[in-house]
Chains A and B, each alone.
Chain A
Amino acid sequence: MIYSYLSYFVIVPFIGLLISLFPSNEQEKLLYRIVVATLVAHIVGALAFTLLWISNGMPVLTEKALDLYNSSSESNIFLDFYFDRMTVVYGMISSAITYMVARFSRYYMHREKGYKRFFNNLLAFYLGINCIIFAGNFETMFIGWEIIGVSSFFLIAFYRDRYLPVKNALKVFSIYRLADVFFLLGIWIAHHLFEKSITFAELQDIAWQNYPIIQQHSHLFALLPYFFLVVAAIKSAQLPFSSWLPRAMEGPTTSSAIFYGSLSVHIGVFLLIRTYPLWQNNTVFCIVLIGLGLLTTLVAGSIARVQSTVKTQIGYASIAQIGLMFIEVGLGLHTLALLHFAGNAFLRTYQLLVSPSVLGYLIHDQFFNFIPPQHPNEKTWWGRLNLSFYTLGIKEWNLDRLLYNFLWQPPKLIGLLFRYINSRIVAIVFILFYVFGFYTSYHHELVPDSWAHLLPEVFALVGVLVALKAFTERNSATIALLMIVINQLFTALSISYNEQFEFHEILLYLSGIVLSGIVAWACIQRLRREGEPTDLNDFQGHSYERPRLTMAFMLAALGLSGFPITPTFVGEDLLLGHIHENQIPLTALTAISLILVGLASMRMYARLFLGPHIKGYHEVAFRSS
């Protein structure tokens, strides 16, 4: 039956992506043809599939595609696909927009140093978004989520030899990382509640609401959708996370159009509709969702009003519309939300793609129709309020500062406390401590019970501290790398202390880390051997001279942060599965560890290989440009 071919829609972009890695940057025609062939194969397949599906009365389809990890117990992780009305709408629109953007970019990107990189990332994005759209369970969706996050990072930092793109790419990546961890936590709770990896098909049948375990954990169940709300709010740049979006418009206009004008930002709406069964009877959540949407619409709308640059204006306008979509979803008006999504996605894509022409058009318009604007009334209370909103709008309601102060300032400050600690001594202490932990995890009898149940948290806390050190390390990349690996060891230790589980699960988790660690270490050694600076005090920009080494290190950094290219990704999921639902401190610490390690890895990559090249023998951009 053709219906069992749902995985086609993910496999095609994946194959396309792999093939597109082979041509050189100068083979523009070939690269473009690969992209178009991939897109056409996908779109034609999708059209045929959809027609067949309609003729069969539009049933909801599902396909279990691939076991990623299958053990006897509950912790079963597999890829699963799903096909319904929303899949069709999102799938069609994202294919149409991706195709048009690819076509637009064919000559637009001509002779860019990153022509190939651009199309690689476009295909990666396409793979990611189809992973999400066709996902049948949270795990599959999460993979797509990560792929989009990383391709987003690479496209923001597309002009990797300038300071601002790299800085902003890191900023956006760190917010995305927060979303990733919330997503993982959501999956973790869902695992505990349903005692398995639940599929969206199973969610539709709300008989599960009567499961005893859900009845038992009604609070946890009520809490679950909030995790996905945070994820959706981050990806769709809702409050209080909105300020990342205008800062993400660093890449070529075409990539900004597809990511931040249309497809990537609307994926939060998709997630909310997919998780609808989880919260449809949760009135409080609905109110929160609608409230968030409303607030975002008003605030982003007021910011959009005062934007004096074209792209940020479109960005905030899009955020405001997505806020309205959140309201629509909260009210259960899913069809309206889908229509609204379609319209907004097309509109903003178009507006962004033609944004450079606004200068000529508006100047011309002004030449014939200019009327000097009215003076504001500063006497009345209303007039003064209006001016206050103006000031707030210019300052983006302090959203950027807020995020920085609450999310990134604390770890930075704590991490800086360790600045003066001699790393060699620390390393020895850690190793001794680790050996102790490792040994006793197999010989529980050696540790008094009163300690033993505290030890997982202690190990996790040590892990967090180590990660902080890695995150703020300025002097040596090697130390940062070492800290990242040590953190992962401690995380694994703390979990294995928590609950006896199979050794090979840890092995699965650590295999990717160790492999990535070795690759990263080799790259750093190579730089050092060739006399290049490897401190993390400032951006070094080694990608200018060493594109291949950059690529290798990038893969290693992705591996270290648990990106789905190594088994660590599955291990991460398994690991979380071994934390009990009532172990909030341990969960929190592990989550923080995961965030920090991801950030530390990408930061290390960015500092070493991206940014303005430190050697001044060729042209380097001003920092502010």
Chain B
Amino acid sequence: MDKHAFNEHHVLHELKHFLPSQTPLKDFIHHNSLHAFQEMPFYEAIFKARKIFGIHVTFSMNDYRKLYEIGRIRLEIIDQVLQKRKGNDEPATWREKMLQKSYISTRLPRIGRLRANWKHLFHIDLDNAVQPLFFRILCSYLDQGVAIQHFPFENDGLLSAVRQLEQSSFTSFFKHASTRKLLFDTSNCTIPKLLERIVGKEAYFEQYLFDQQFTHRGWSGIVSAIEDNPSSILYAKKVNFADAIILELLLEIDALDSLLGKAWQPLCQKLNEPPLDLFADEPLSEQEEVLSLWQDAFEWSYYDEVLAGVRQLNANKAAVAEATETIQQRFHAIFCIDEREDSIRRHTEEVAPDCETFGCPGFFGVEFFFQPENGKFYEKLCPVVVTPKYLVKEYNVKGHRHHEVLYSKYSHSFLIGFFVSLGLGLWAAFKLFLALFRPKMSPAISDAFAYMHIDGELQIENKSPDDIENGLQIGFTVEEMATRVENLLRSIGMVSRFTPIVYVVAHGSSSANNPHHGAHDCGACSGRPGATNARVFAFMANHPKVRAILAQKGLVIPDSTQFVGAMHDTAADMMGYYDEKILTADNQQRHRENKELFERALDLNAKERSRRFASINTNADLRTIREAIRKRSVSFFEPRPELGHGTNALCFVGNRNLTKGLFLDRRAFMNSYDYRTDPTGAILLNVMKPLPPVCGGINLEYYFSRVDNYKMGAGTKLPHNVMGLIGVANSSDGDLRPGLPLQMIEVHDPVRLLIIVEHYPEIVLKAVQTLPDLYQWFTHGWVHLAAINPDTNQCYYFEDGQFREYVPLKGDIETAKNVHQIIDKSKEMPTNYIVHATEENIPVHILDK
């Protein structure tokens, strides 16, 4: 096949592969921002992406050197990294290169070079002439309900809608009748034919399309993402990526007719240089090599400390662990693995030393679609890769949703607007005044607890196999429930010693004025509050028939044990409990006491979080801090209701004892897993499977949004404008901004995720090798993997397809009496420049009681 022949299908497929895949903002699913490069080893991949798109994929050389100067990167680690990677190649000279040599870095990205010729050769600014109208049409077409008058004829795709509109309207989007004619000329209105006119030579078509689509990667990305995932918008529209390209090409022809007169030559007519291979492989340059060494040193300066902490903590712990396992415990609580729950678990254990906490992905192994009462749609409540077959419906809800009259879009029409501004203007002033001085919950604020009514009921158990709605079975059968309960309990190692009450604590996040609120909710529930899952799981585990089946399988849950669903609001630091009325009288009493304990833990959690918030004095009394934290979550003027997954870096898979007593500053995902119940590693595989895509996805999105917040992130939130309820852009004419906003990533140290498994290295290796997709995450270094041998407490690091022992360099880990002692001496960043920001992150401590 001719290398330069244009294959439309292939090129479109490639384009879609490289475009951002973030779906509309109503749900926020974290994913690797450079997912298109994931087939390659990490450093090769990111530097290739840099060459193509001109993005920053690491810090600059200067930043690393400054991080070294302040001690954040340790010299011994630099030496260790050099020893490992450049062992035979004079580490000393490489060290010199890292610390001294100056590099110049002003390379043009490959993308955009062809279309730059419009400016160089023709002296026109084609993008300025096309993009504002093009974005407007796209945004109006995709609009979910901002505009009063919606885009007509949306059933058959964008191009068809534009055609019908042009046919019926007396006015036109196009300036020239000839372009309008071309629109209706279906045989010539195809991508190759239009490119023929604009570009001229077929050899350049692919490069031109890449250049064009990546001048507005946000809009192209959303079109492509909705095409692939039509259910990501509620107001269904037919969306077709090719349509958008054709419309843009037509608008370009229209603009060229105006800018250059009717008789313009195609772009490549006189071009001599051959088309550029955007994806050509190029070996790493020395500069890139040095940057990758720095990044390794940056990461290992932290990992080393963590592994040293684990080693020191567990050196003489075995005896203690044995002891705790024999005493009768007050309650168990299962939390989400989310790293934000690290601190609430720690504080709960502190106020209730006789409790045990567990961690698992926050959908608690129950996957289903949820339909709130009166809801017209279903919402998926499980990891994004799973497609559930079940539907859980809500009914008997008391109370109804309130409205905010000032949010009505009809206040924007001039007639109603007249009466609203005259009649409700002062009301708006009053509302604003209240919002500033007495912030409180309102229908306009995303309230995690409003997601599912606390007093509503759920249809969880399937009544009959024929009970099917839109292809989904309503509820689970008893067998299906038993399987799910068993799987979860076995995976976290909760197979005996059941306490009277087991809390199943989901999490969600309330925030005001925050289009990215979905990014703060539970990632394992497709970016939604997980309360429903907690409730559903508790119902299943309490079901007598389920317990009977479990007992047959050797998993005996005593009758006295009851499961209670709950949810932790990670922004407001509040906890709500579901179906409390089912508790027995004894358990009611226990529950009342436990609630007190949780409240105290929440107080302490609020205090720990408050150290990063400028609006709160950490030394104030607990009640004041707690109230201030709650207020942040309902304050319209607070762009940081919480800090999301910022600083995430680790993922532990093991018993709580592995990390209990270690102060990790809310940086670790924690999945409970008991190696003793799984000698073959069969369960381990299921535990490990979701971790790289979910936790690794979160971690890598934060990584790239942090190292290049301008291009890979969404930039600062403050100028954001909500576009068609699907995304945000900076202004009226701007491109959509996928990625995370500055306010979410400024505390983040961009290190890759290190997964630390408590098991024998050979078992871990066998487990991860089972699935090639899973294994690739580790072999290509997008996620790091370590194992702790439970018998010897030795640490192993996965590298080049095998585990090798790693001996931490860091000697003594700092100890502290309690968390407050650590917080009191913590620093506050003066600016969000990485060298300042990283100072706010506290090193690993051991809590010495």
- CB 8 Å contact bits of B122-153 with A (1 = contact, 0 = none): 00000100011100110110111111111011
B429: which of A108, A250, A350 is its contact (CB, 8 Å)?
Answer: A350
> For the complex, would chain B's binding face be called helix, strand, loop or mixed by DSSP majority?
loop
Q: Name the segment of A12-20, A144-152, A375-383, A435-443 touching the other chain.
A: A375-383
Q: Are B376 and A354 in contact (CB under 8 A)?
A: no
Known: A313-B409, A384-B170. 9 other contacts (CB 8 A): A104-B436, A108-B637, A250-B731, A254-B718, A317-B413, A317-B417, A354-B444, A390-B169, A616-B105
Tell me the bound Cα distance from A395 to B173 in angstroms.
Answer: 7
Residues of chain A touching chain B, judged by Cβ–Cβ distance below 8 Å, are 26, 28, 96, 100, 103-112, 158-159, 162, 164-165, 168, 246-247, 249-254, 256, 297-298, 300-301, 304-314, 316-317, 320-321, 323-324, 339-340, 342-351, 353-370, 372-373, 375-376, 378, 383-385, 387-388, 390-395, 400, 615-625
Closest to B425 in A: A343
The answer to whether A625 and B376 touch across the interface, beta carbons within 8 angstroms, is no
The stretch from B399-407, B547-555, B601-609, B677-685 touching chain A is B399-407
Shortest CB-to-CB span from B211 to chain A, Å, is 12
Task: State in angstroms the CA–CA spacing of A35 and B54 once bound together.
Answer: 41
Distance between Cα atoms of A351 and B415 in the complex (Å): 17
Closest to A257 in B: B432
Separation of A376 and B152 alpha carbons in the complex (Å): 6
Binding site for A on B (CB under 8 A): 25-26, 54, 56, 60, 62, 105-107, 127, 131-133, 136-137, 139-140, 142-150, 152-153, 164-173, 215-218, 234-236, 372, 374-377, 401, 403-404, 406-407, 409, 411-415, 417-418, 420-426, 428-429, 431-433, 435-436, 443-446, 512-515, 517, 614-615, 635-640, 707-711, 715-725, 728-735, 737, 746, 830-832
- A100-B436, A111-B832, A344-B425 given; A358·B718 CB < 8 A: no
CA distance A317 to B62 in the complex (A): 48
Cβ B725 vs Cβ A363 within 8 A = yes
Contact A317 B414 (CB under 8 A): yes
B153 in contact with A317 (CB, 8 Å): no
Provide 21 A-B residue pairs closer than 8 Å at the C-beta atoms, listed in order of the A residue: A164-B733, A249-B732, A252-B718, A253-B718, A256-B719, A304-B148, A308-B140, A321-B417, A342-B425, A347-B421, A347-B428, A350-B429, A357-B636, A361-B443, A364-B401, A367-B375, A368-B401, A619-B708, A624-B215, A625-B729, A625-B735
Structural contact, B406 and A621, CB atoms closer than 8 A: no
- Which of A103, A109, A353, A624 is the one whose CB lies under 8 Å from B735? A624
Nearest first, the 7 A-B pairs at minimum CB distance are: A343-B425, A301-B414, A317-B412, A378-B168, A308-B143, A252-B718, A350-B428
Of B54, B132, B418, the contact of A616 (CB 8 Å cutoff): B54
Task: Compute how far the CA of A625 lies from the CA of B60 in the bound complex, rounded to whole angstroms.
Answer: 22
What residues of chain B lie closer than 8 Å to A253, measured between beta carbons?
718-720
Contact B146 A363 (CB under 8 A): no
- Contact A368 B413, beta carbon cutoff 8 Å: no
Q: A100-B432, A616-B105 are in contact. Are A621 and B711 (CB under 8 A)?
A: yes
Indicate if the CB atoms of A309 and B169 lie closer than 8 Å: no
A261 to chain B, nearest CB (A): 11
**What is the minimal beta-carbon distance from A309 to any residue of chain B, in angstroms?**
5
Give the complex CA separation of A300 and B415 in angstroms: 12
| Closest Cβ–Cβ distance, residue A434 to chain B (whole Å) | 33
| Contact call A367/B234, Cβ cutoff below 8 A | yes
Distance in Å: Cβ of B604 to nearest Cβ of chain A: 24
Contact at B149–A305, with CB atoms within 8 Å? yes
A105 contact set on B, CB distance < 8 A: 637
Q: Is the CB of B153 within 8 A of A351?
A: no
User: Which listed residue (A111, A164, A300, A370) contacts B730, Cβ 8 A?
Assistant: A164
Closest chain A residue, CB of each to CB of B400: A368
Cα distance A376–B154 in the bound complex, in angstroms = 11
A316–B513 CA distance with the chains assembled, in angstroms: 22
B513 touches A356 (CB 8 A): yes
| From A305, A343, A360, A387, contact of B148 by CB (8 A) | A305
* Contact assessment for A368 and B376 in the assembled complex, using a CB-CB cutoff below 8 Å: yes
Contacts of B417 in A (CB 8 A): 317, 320-321
* Contact A252-B164, Cβ < 8 Å, known A306-B140, A321-B418, A391-B171: no
Known: A317-B414, A363-B725, A391-B165. A353 touches B636 (CB 8 A): yes
B-chain residues with CB within 8 Å of residue A351 when the two chains form the complex: 406-407, 411, 428
Whether the pair A346, B426 counts as a contact (CB closer than 8 A) is yes
Q: Is the CB of B147 within 8 A of A110?
A: no
CB of A357 within 8 A of CB of B512, answer: yes
Taking A344-B421, A391-B165 as contacts, is the C-beta distance between A111 and B746 under 8 angstroms?
yes
Name the residue in A300, A312, A317, A373 with the highest tally of chain B Cβ atoms < 10 Å from its Cβ: A317
Q: Return chain A residues, CB-CB under 8 Å to B729.
A: 309, 625
Residue with the highest number of chain B CB atoms closer than 10 Å, among A103, A348, A361: A361
Q: Which residue of B lies closest to A392 (CB)?
A: B171
A158 to B719, CA, bound (A): 10
Output the least CB separation between B203 and chain A (Å): 26
Q: Which of A348, A366, A387 is in CB contact (< 8 Å) with B165?
A: A387
| Known A111-B831, A306-B149, A356-B513; contact A345-B414, beta-carbon cutoff 8 A | no
Query: Which has the most chain B C-beta neighbours within 10 Å: A168, A344, A349, A360?
Result: A360
> Which B residues are CB-close (under 8 A) to A373?
150
Closest residue of B by beta carbon distance from A158: B719
Min Cβ gap A377→B in Å is: 9
Given the complex of chains A and B, what is the CA–CA distance between A520 and B418 in angstroms? 48
- Determine whether the beta carbon of B152 is less than 8 Å from that of A357: no
Which one, B107, B374, B730, contacts A368 given CB within 8 A? B374
Minimum CB–CB distance for B639 against chain A, Å: 6
Residues of A within 8 Å of B830, CB to CB, are: 26
Chain A, Cβ-Cβ closest to B140 = A308
Taking the nearest CB of chain A, how far is it from the CB of B293, in angstroms? 18
Look across to chain B and name the residue whose beta carbon is closest to the beta carbon of A109.
Answer: B718
Evaluate contact between A360 and B733: CB separation under 8 angstroms.
Answer: no
| Given A317-B411, A368-B376, residue A359 in contact with residue B145 (CB < 8 A) | no
A320 CA / B721 CA spacing, docked (Å)? 20
Chain B residues within 8 Å of A246, by CB: 732
B141 to A: closest C-beta gap in Å: 9
- A384-B413 in contact (CB<8A): no
Contact A311 B721 (CB under 8 A): yes
The distance from the CB of A473 to the nearest CB of chain B, in whole angstroms, is 15
Minimum CB–CB distance from A313 to chain B (whole Å) comes to: 5
Chain B residues with CB under 8 A of A368: 372, 374-376, 401
Instruction: Kindly list chain B residues whose C-beta atoms are within 8 Å of the C-beta of A159.
Output: 716, 719, 730
Check A361/B614 contact, CB under 8 A, given A321-B417, A340-B422, A388-B170: no
Name the contact of B426 in the complex, choosing from A343, A358, A619 (C-beta under 8 A): A343
A304 to B146, CA, bound (A): 10
Please name all residues of chain B whose beta carbon is closer than 8 Å to the beta carbon of A164 when the two chains form the complex: 730-731, 733-734
User: Closest CB-CB distance, B109 to chain A, in whole Å?
Assistant: 9
A185 to chain B, nearest CB (A): 31
Give the nearest-CB partner of A400 in chain B.
B132
**Given A320-B414, A347-B421, A625-B735, are A107 and B637 neighbors across the interface (CB < 8 Å)?**
yes
Answer whether A310 and B133 are a contact pair too, CB < 8 Å, given A96-B429, A621-B715: no
Contact B106 A617 (CB under 8 A): yes
A361 near B404 with CB under 8 A, answer yes
**A251, B730: Cα distance in complex, Å:** 9
Bound Cα distance from A362 to B148, whole angstroms:
13
Taking the closest CB of chain A, its distance from the CB of B760, in whole angstroms, is 44
Report whether B173 and A391 are in contact in the complex, using a CB–CB cutoff of 8 Å. Answer: yes
CB <8 Å contact, A366 and B145:
yes
* B149 near A390: Cβ-Cβ < 8 Å: yes
What is the minimal beta-carbon distance from B497 to any residue of chain A, in angstroms? Answer: 42
Contact status A355-B722, CB under 8 Å: yes
- Chain B nearest CB from A256 CB (Å) reads 8
Tell me the nearest residue of chain A to B415, going by C-beta. A301
* Docked CA distance A570–B552 (Å): 96
- Closest A residue to B829 by CB, please name it: A111
Q: Which residue of A lies closest to B430 (CB)?
A: A346
Could you say which residues of chain B place their CB within 8 Å of the CB of A391? 165-166, 169, 171-173
CA distance A372 to B145 in the complex (A): 10
